[in-house]
Amino acid sequence: MRAAAEAVTSAYAVAVLRAVDDITWRRLNTAIREIEADPSWVSPRMLAPRDSPYSGCIVDPSVPDWMIFYRIVDKGAAVEIITIVDTGALGATLDPP
């Protein structure tokens, strides 16, 4: 059986996690743990468009109104959480931090 990947979270993603309410934090944290357990880009996950600032990232939309952008690194031993975007906020943007 394949070992789970370890999540390495960017400073920006950590700041987002610290700023959200407890319920959202738990939902996002659960999604990150699920990404660690299986980082593949099977549905509902998808690849970010190549013309996006997150080109090459996998997008996990499993938490309503949020998208987690990550990359598989170190030959699958880790996942790098690039950013977490609140898509439910008015004026939400996918511009990098």
Q: How far apart are CA 95 and CA 85, in angstroms?
A: 9
Per-residue confidence at 2, pLDDT binned at 50, 70, 90?
A: low
* Calpha distance 41→48 (Å, rounded): 11
Q: For the structural domain made of 6-86, what CATH number should be given? A: 3.30.2310.20
Could you tell me the residue ranges of all domains in the chain?
6-86
pLDDT digits (tens, 9 = 90+) for 43-88: 788 888 888 888 889 999 999 999 999 998 877 778 999 999 998 8
For the chain, percent of residues with pLDDT exceeding 90:
49
DSSP for residue 54? T
